[in-house]
Amino acid sequence: MNPIIKNAPLAPLTTLRIGGAAKQLWTVDSEAECVAAIEQLDQDREPFFVLGGGSNVVISDDGFDGTALHLVYEGAEHQQRGPHSFAIDASAGDSWALLVDALVEAGLSGVECLAGIPGSVGATPIQNVGAYGQEVATTIEAVRVYNRATQQVEELTPEQCGFGYRSSALKGNSDLVVLAVRFLLEQSPLSAPLAYRELAEKLGVSVGERAEAAAVRSAVLELRSGKGMVLDQRDHDTWSAGSFFTNPILDAAQFARLEARVSEHCGADTQAPRFDADGGKLKSSAAWLIEQAGFSRGEQRGQVALSSKHTLALTNLGGATAAELLAFAHEIAARVEELFEVELQPEPALVGLQW
């Protein structure tokens, strides 16, 4: 176990670079250390939260009156499952972006569209991380967790994980701490079938076709960079928690109300983006709604701004506070709801904050 740091600043451990200090910071270097730390914290009745790559979290300016458990242990093992498939058991502390790079270079396909996403492997099943038509749920075989209720290490099947759009049964469940994730990937130089039109067009193929996985990875990185979604310390557009709002999932009646409001406020010829979602529901675009509500790229409130490249990212221009960021986020959400009767929900985890 690494030395415990008292009154530890948390902002430097997040991509937003926002937030106060934790009462203490425990950095763990192995799965065994992680389990032992959780057991000790529970025995001491010490509140804690798990901090991985810090890329999908907003921490209160007051910090956290408890322990931040920082997972930094790494290591991935592979096992051949069939003539053309491999299982990859990756530690929760592994860098997701580096893992994707390594898997593509090893000729394994299924996660190439998720290149460049910052954060740790342990966070991916919690959010069911996805981008450019791909989600980790499609390749996850099992998630290893420490169950605080049973005090046991357990393996969860995809069905037990309850994956949905940017959600899972793990999200908001403090009893289950992710220790590792096992992915089942195809051994192939080709990507999985492409489902995202912008990416397919960039690669010169049709939706549903496959392309060289390495080329897909490069195209995704280029698209993400153009939207400020690849970390760059020099670029304040990347000082964010990624997309701040999830795309709204609406039933038929809700989408009909949205269409009516769009016609009223944007003109009869304007149509809201519409995509099929699970359960017969429909997904629209949070970024489009934000723009139609009158917010522009680069628009500022104090030291917080919408990214100059992408209206879904709220960014820290330097010295921003969590209070400033949430105030701007609430302003955006309130305006969208007023005009379009759609409630936007934040995607990042909020620590010491309420939405």
Instruction: Say how far apart CA 15 and CA 133 lie, in whole Å.
Output: 24
Best CA proximity match to 121, nearest among 72, 192, 69? 72
Based on the residue annotation, tell me whether 347 is a catalytic residue of this protein: yes
Distances (CA, A) of 10 to 14, 64, 68, 70: 7, 9, 8, 10
Based on the residue annotation, tell me whether 243 is a catalytic residue of this protein: yes
Q: Sign of dihedral through CA atoms 108, 137, 241, 211?
A: positive
Residues 6+ apart with CB under 8 A from 214: 104, 105, 112, 189
Best CA proximity match to 77, nearest among 87, 59, 89? 89
Of 112, 135, 324, 347, the catalytic one is 347
Of 91, 168, 191, 243, the catalytic one is 243
Based on the residue annotation, tell me whether 166 is a catalytic residue of this protein: yes
Of 17, 166, 182, 217, the catalytic one is 166
Residue pair 31/91 in contact (Cβ under 8 Å)? The answer is yes
Instruction: Say how far apart CA 232 and CA 307 lie, in whole Å.
Output: 13
Residues 6+ apart with CB under 8 A from 100: 111, 112, 114, 115, 116, 117, 217
Residue pair 100/115 in contact (Cβ under 8 Å)? The answer is yes
Active site residues: 166, 243, 347
